[in-house]
Chain A
Amino acid sequence: MESNHFDVIVAGAGISGITSAAAAASRGLRVALVSTGPGTFVLGAGCVEVQEMDRGTPSLEEAINFFRNLTDLAGCGFLGGIGETHYIPTILGSFQTVSLAPFYMWNGEPSESSQVAVVGIKGLSSFDCNFVAERLAYYTTKLGWGSTYVARDIELSTESGTVPGTLQFGNRYDRDLHFREELRDALKPIAAKANVVILPGILGLRSGQSEIEWLQKELGCLLCELPTLPPSIPGMRLFNRLEARLRKVGVEFFTGFPIRQLQIEDGRCKAVLLETPARPLRLSSETLILATGPFSGKLLGAYSAGVNRDLHPVNAAGEVLANNVFAAGAILRNSGARGGNAMAILTGYISGMLAAGVGVQYAQR
């Protein structure tokens, strides 16, 4: 067999593409994940809202459970579930409603007994603790949730000639044990008077559960980390952890070179051509899953007019463009699908399973 032949090629390394690749790999398929850049992880934290979708959507629960399990194995476990509504603070001092969120954001949910310290870092322009604390206090009072908020500033060392930045702190949290201790010592007096500490996302781009729980244990209080302006450290951490997990289960990564062409013959996509140096790299596969996001759906050209119940892209007349191509994730927004990351996980999971020949159905509303 050709070396560059795969059971499945997944295009796109966002939440949907990653879920899709993981689902196909979990069924023993040989998977290639082709991407340029790590999706939208750099912009956010990957929280999942299920509210926008009908809870009874077929396969939704199965898909969400699969995703939760995937994140657990990757060391960046998500908490929550379908039908749950939680309120997680944002750096704008508002609350976003989520159903699932990574464990390091989870503790920000307000409750009767929580005394919350919002901690800023002197000189870090992308996180204003006074602003966040004031607004969160306003909302919780208005809604009668009972949490109290205080704003606190800490000072952290920076490398000479630099201003404080989340990327610097995140990298140092990963690589420098002294920095972790410095952060712990700076937070200690604040943590002594609070049971929840909210801080800007700086706890490493690669750290797993144990590296973050270490800090929580040392402080004796709960931590909630909020993504700031790009790069979102918690978002990149989620990507790095998931990528490492996929590599471990044998997914082959082709990173940095866009797909320029699909080779479609007789109603099947035989191969994709990557724009690599010197000459295009040809990857062939039994199945192609397009999880390329809303802005890069142009591979299918103007022919695509949405997807059918099996997630196959179809033309205006409803005819399937290629019977071994599936679409997943935000690319489906062009054909009216809604539901953010929940939809991305659902369609990623279904497409991966369909590629493995497992019958799951996508019921588009």
Chain B
Amino acid sequence: MRKDDVSLDNCLKCSDCNTACPVVTAHPAYPGPKRLGPELERMRREGIECDTDWLEYCLGCHRCDLACPNEVNVSELIARAKASHKKTPIRALRDWWFARPGLLGKLLTIAPGISNFSLRLKPVRALMSVFMKITPERTFPAYHKPLPAGLPTTPQSSAEANGSARVVFFPGCFIQYNQPELGCHALQLLQFNGFQPEVANSVCCGVPSLANGNPEEARKRAAANVNNMIDAVNAGARIVTACSSCGHMLKTGFADLLEGDSALAKKAEKIAANTYDIAELLVLQQDAGKFNTQFQPAAAPLKLAYHAPCHQKSQGIGRPWYHLLRQIPGVEIEDLNAGCCGMSGTFGFKEEKYPVSMEVGSELFAAVRASAPQAVVTECATCQMQIVHGTGVKAVHPVNILLNAYKAGARP
């Protein structure tokens, strides 16, 4: 990430960041990135005590960074200050858990049936609302037996694997514990396109820890991931993500978090340089003339709407999924371009933040309704949850659409 202290002085107070901020747009009481970032940072650096309540309302969407004409690291200034916020005990406990989706996933997948049953019970949700300040408005995603690390369960034939490039799939917590099937699909998609995938031995990427004001925890996760994956990268493998937030973190966050340990930071940079979003990789494959276009004919036309997650935009890779899906026969796809969904991972689950989350999402919800697609396609799992919650329209990961197109023709 662009990060030097000079960036603070680059702020011209033009307010482009404020006009781009989804929270400012939906919730005028929020002071906005200009104030919480560069303006207050000057005081924070002088040791002047500043109000920290609003820092918690930053979604970490990075739209301010993209809007800034002068390369100020607005959102990073806010993220770093977040850790200084003193939370009430209940919220601190809740956020402790939210900062550790990997641990949560491990525990809840010991007996996923019991976990899913309990998390759906009204009294349990009422108790979580009272004792954890988790909104009862939302349902928790279902937990499943996690995706095992190592080689995929449907191995390639030796002929198929011959000469194909080795890639390491970084699943992230949501795919690991909630959508392991999607993980298998991603592996199959990679195999369909001439890659030899394996599942990384990985832990949480650390985005939820940072978002919940716990950079120390994020640092530990980053270090573990770097140490787990560096050998594969050194051996020439590329790392592939299908979750945009994990991809964002691997590319932009690890090296920053580990800057205190120069050897680790160096490894983190190497990992970043070799990390690809799965669609980004498929587009490269297409440019090399190796993208699989053996699509099965679709039974019926499929009308899709694409929502680009904020952490997809912040990777600066264009719109690879939008362009890939457009090539499937029978698929009609519209890019909604309707801003942030407002979910921001665990943010939307927090009782006090739920109304803001829904307000932020309202523009997207309206766009989905106006577009009236059979399904919304988006690569972020929590964007999917928010879209279903706000509109009732089905939301799917683009991996599933593309894989279906190979197997049985496009369908949602």
Which A positions have Cβ atoms within 8 angstroms of B? Answer: 2-4, 36-39, 42-43, 158-162, 165, 167-168, 171-172, 174-175, 205, 230-231, 236, 244, 247, 252, 254-258, 274-279, 281
Contact = CB atoms under 8 A, between A and B. Distances in A.
Interface of B: 1-2, 13-16, 18-19, 24-29, 32, 65-71, 248, 251-252, 272-273, 275, 283, 286-287, 313-320, 323, 335, 337, 362-363
Contacts of B316: 254, 256-257, 274, 276-277, 281
Given A38-B16, A167-B19, A256-B68, 15 more contacts: A3-B318, A37-B16, A37-B70, A38-B67, A159-B29, A160-B29, A167-B18, A175-B362, A230-B13, A236-B19, A252-B319, A256-B313, A256-B316, A277-B1, A277-B316
A171 B24 contact: yes
B19 A231 contact: yes
A254 B283 CA distance: 16
A276 B312 CA distance: 12
Contacts, number: 108
Which of B26, B252, B318, B320 has the most chain A CB within a 10 Å cutoff?
B318
A20 to B, nearest CB: 18
A42 B24 CA distance: 16
Given A167-B24, A278-B252, A281-B317, A258 B71 contact: yes
26 contacts: A3-B286, A4-B283, A4-B287, A36-B68, A36-B69, A36-B71, A38-B16, A38-B69, A42-B15, A167-B24, A174-B25, A175-B25, A175-B26, A175-B363, A230-B15, A231-B14, A254-B316, A255-B66, A255-B313, A256-B316, A257-B66, A274-B316, A277-B248, A278-B315, A281-B317, A281-B318
B16 A278 contact: no
Contacts of A168: 28
Contacts of B252: 277-278
A296 to B, nearest CB: 9
A279 B273 contact: yes
Nearest to A236: B19
Contacts of A161: 29
| CB-based closest 4 A-B pairs | A37-B69, A256-B66, A276-B316, A231-B15
Contacts of A167: 15, 18-19, 24, 28, 32
A177 B86 CA distance: 37
Contact of A231 (B18, B273, B320): B18
B28 A162 contact: yes
Which of A167, A255, A257, A278 has the most chain B CB within a 10 Å cutoff?
A278
Contact of B337 (A172, A247, A256): A247
Which of A254, A255, A256 has the most chain B CB within a 10 Å cutoff?
A256
A278 B15 contact: no
A278 B29 CA distance: 35
Contacts of A38: 16, 67, 69
Contacts of A255: 66-67, 313
A325 to B, nearest CB: 22
Contacts of B2: 275
A43 B319 CA distance: 30
Contacts of A172: 28
A160 to B, nearest CB: 7
A4 B287 CA distance: 9
A174 B25 CA distance: 9
B144 to A, nearest CB: 30
